[in-house]
A and B are shown apart, each in its own frame.
Chain A
Amino acid sequence: MKEQILVFNHTDKQTLGAVRCIPGLRAAENGDHIWLRGIAVSEKIDIRIRQLPALHTYFLDERNRLFPAGGVTPTGTLPSLSWQPLTTFISVELPVSVLPGKFQRPYIAQLVPSGQDKPGAALLVSLATWKAYAETAPEIRLQQVRFAVSEKEEVFIIGDLLPSIPGKEYWRHNTLLVPSGYDFDPPLITDIIEKKLNPQKGNLLVFHSSDEWELIPLSCFVPATRSAIRLTQVSHETK
């Protein structure tokens, strides 16, 4: 005898999961039954195999004849089946989530005072202040920033070396500008906000401490040359 053969009801297929990881086992479907082979008789049979709810137990000889346990007369031959490794025969399924339900209530993101010190990346100043600064500002400092002007005569200046003039400072997270001294609650929501409101990243998303926000296209920002600042004021005044 070379190996042991076990036959199970198809309904007991799940129980084979207990021996799935034992090497060498192969299984095949045969009508309402599952046949399992690959159990060497020369070795001590694993207790997990012996605990399986087998309908029939056979021993197979070299001529593929099936002998019942303890019998000396074969009762049949091994049918020709499509044998598969047990790891393939019983595939793994991910467990179902314990809490599969969705959180239906909307979460309101808000700005809250923060103690974190983050470097300023933008400055909101009045047009008059910006113009006065540009009159004598060193060229090398102007070259470090870009600016955009609103109809409300407010100037948004962006850059990593902001001018030292009175205004509201903002820190930057990718395309989000948040007032200095504030942060989102929770802080990690910034990426979600950006993905939702500015997916193409072609704008700056400016959040104000008054809970208002606005989109400023990046194309609105121009290099801060002295002439650009002076001419911007002229064109604004002639509206």
Chain B
Amino acid sequence: MSEPVVRIENLSKAYGIVTALDGISLEVKGGKIFGLLGPNGAGKTTTVKILATLIRPDGGKAEVAGVDVLTDPAKARSLVGYISQELTVDPYLTPLEHLRYYADLYHVPAALRQLRIRDALALVGLAGLEDRRARHLSGGTKKKLDLACGLIHRPPVIILDEPSLGLDVEVRRDVWNHILRLKEEGTTIFLCTNYMDEAERLCDELAIIDHGKIAALGSPAELKGRLKREIVSVEVARGKEASGEWLATLETAAARLSMVRKAVKDGAILKLYVDNNEAALPKILEAAASLKIPLESIAYSRPGLDEVFLHFTGRAFARGGENDG
């Protein structure tokens, strides 16, 4: 299982004058979940579409399960289950008919067909819904059906492009569990994600991708460990006329403290990156008291993946004003 199952070497792709991939290289070990984390337009979908043989790169090499996707695309397709970002469910067909359809497209022998269909239905928890037309299924159920369709030929590699896009919290967790179960069965999973929590929860290995380049590579814990920083979040008293002014004054004062590496305003909260929060907390409180700035709250935390992203790309992981992770 130590031989890499997905291997990408110096892959590049441009659409006209827009560079989508700027020479990325990575390897995924068998039986692991590998995540490509980055904002929209970073090059995630381009990468997986190349792996799924749907677009050809301008340069570089890509292999799945030892097969070159450029020189032997037909073979590569039979070794990959690709579940795209969009729902690709046919509203007129039932789940059973979908699975039968994909079983034939992946040339599952007739003798194995029933067994495989039952297994796929059971794995994603669709048993009991197999005869209902897809148009009457919920969005989450359709996504699970999509997943089941990608498993029908038992591929050694599954590619998931943003598996939890548009799903509610409960269904997301459900889909995650199915993905983890696939991993337990020995499948190698390559996924793209936009969500920090998804990357953190699922991935053994992570590549942070930005502007078509890999900014950092490692396990989530490793990446966070590389920051060697802790964060103190200070909130000044809310709803007062002077709140904004206090925050600015405190920022200037805190930035002067020797143990504060960096001070960043994040809305009404001042985030201070420090080497050691036990030593820094009293100093920060002292500074606030001497400036007579009332505080609403103070908290400290270890960095999350969004801080990791910020660190490696130099940009905040902005996603429609949301702030999770």
Partners in one complex: no
- The chain A residues found within 8 Å of chain B, CB to CB, are none
Q: Interface residues, chain B, CB within 8 Å of chain A?
A: none
